[in-house]
Amino acid sequence: MDLSIYFEPVPVEVINSQIPGKPVIGNNLLIYTDEGNFPASADFDIALIGVPDGRSSLNNEGCADAPDEVRKYLYNLFPGDWKARIADLGNIKRGHTEADTIFALSEVMSSLIGNKIFPVIIGGSQSLTYGMYKAYEHLEKIINIAVIDPRFDLGGGTSDELHSQNYLSKIILLKPNYLFNFTNIGYQTYFIDQVEIELMGKLLFDSYRLGKINNDFKEIEPLVRNADLISFDISAIKGSEAPGNGNASPNGFTGEQACQAARYAAMGDKLSSIGFFELNPLFDRNGTTSYLLAEILWYVFDGFNQRKKDFPSPKNDDFIKYTVPTADFKDGIIFFKSRKTDRWWMEVICGDENQVKYASHYMVPCSYKDYLTACNSEIPDRWWQVYQKLM
């Protein structure tokens, strides 16, 4: 597929904003600068993609301008000791309707993911997450989605048209459906209707309050490690540190936490795409939010370069296997600990047929705390959640 038909080159003024003669990121990228020099897919491992479409963003008109603003800061950061090759493919052309833009995004992403290339998206409206999901639908791949967002984006009583705060309900209603699990990270209860909280429980989806995550931030790592797709709403970061958003509020994650979450996520071998949405330069203060997102992207690139290719299996000597007896299951709960990274997984009982169908889902990322929970004769919540889905 000729992906270049969907893209506009990075504007000249953005390219000229980088520091000349310095080994900064902008001078180390493959950049689509003009017609005829679109990077060949064989030449890169990570694809940076701008999607300047914010037509369905609620209370945040202007977020379409985010991609090029972020590039101005990103290009002037120094890279780490990275081996993965990065290409900036430019901006996806704004369609006649947002549905056209979403179609283009899904086509581009399905091609890239199918070729083992990691797309990093800068939006635009968070409704573009719908387009990211459609890429996996094209590939007929069952996935987990994790969203870092103060809201659930189920829509409630709002318009039936796709927008930034109802895209999840649109994904859930699609048939056939390739969504295995959805995880919200960092919701703030005063933004959520109690009916929505009950619905998340009925759907066996995972949701973690901001306060719970802040009590032990490292517990976010297995949550993002379990995701195939991650969508990050900039309004999840507190407004004092990320003012560039029409829905910014006083509470949220810190900038440092956002960077750490991005690094954790990109280190996970399972993650195959990530998107950042709702940054609005019109609300920004001295480029603070654009600068922060540039640094978050730096940690995405760094995390991707730290991948260890560790995924447990009974025949893999890089893992220590622990079997914890339980009263409920005669075979106990099986845990695996990586000798490379000290990361933990637990195997969910599901039968041979489901192990084939859900090959990347019955082995669940977890933490040492889950192992201790099992040792205390309690079934870890995330094990039980997945077990109910598989049975």
Could you tell me the domains of the chain? 3-305 (3.40.800.10), 319-390 (no CATH)
Spans in the chain with pLDDT lower than 70: 156-159, 314
Predicted structure pTM score: 0.96
Q: What is the pLDDT of residue 359?
A: 82
**What angle is formed at CA 104 by the lines to CA 99 and CA 109, rounded to 5 degrees?**
125
Question: Measured on CA atoms in the order 144, 224, 322, 316, is the torsion positive or negative?
Answer: positive
Maximum separation of any 2 CA atoms in the chain, in Å:
66
Query: What's the CA angle centered on 56, arms 53 and 58, to 5 degrees?
Result: 120
User: Strands 118-123 and 46-51, how do they pair?
Assistant: parallel
- Evaluate whether 89 touches 105 at the Cβ level (below 8 Å): no
Q: Are 86 and 30 in contact (CB under 8 A)?
A: yes
Which run of H or E residues covers position 31?
A: strand 30-31
Per-residue model confidence (pLDDT) at position 349: 85
CA distance 357 to 312: 17
Contact (CB, 8 A) for 92 and 132: no
Q: What share of the chain is helix, strand, coil (3-state, %, to 5)?
A: 40, 20, 40
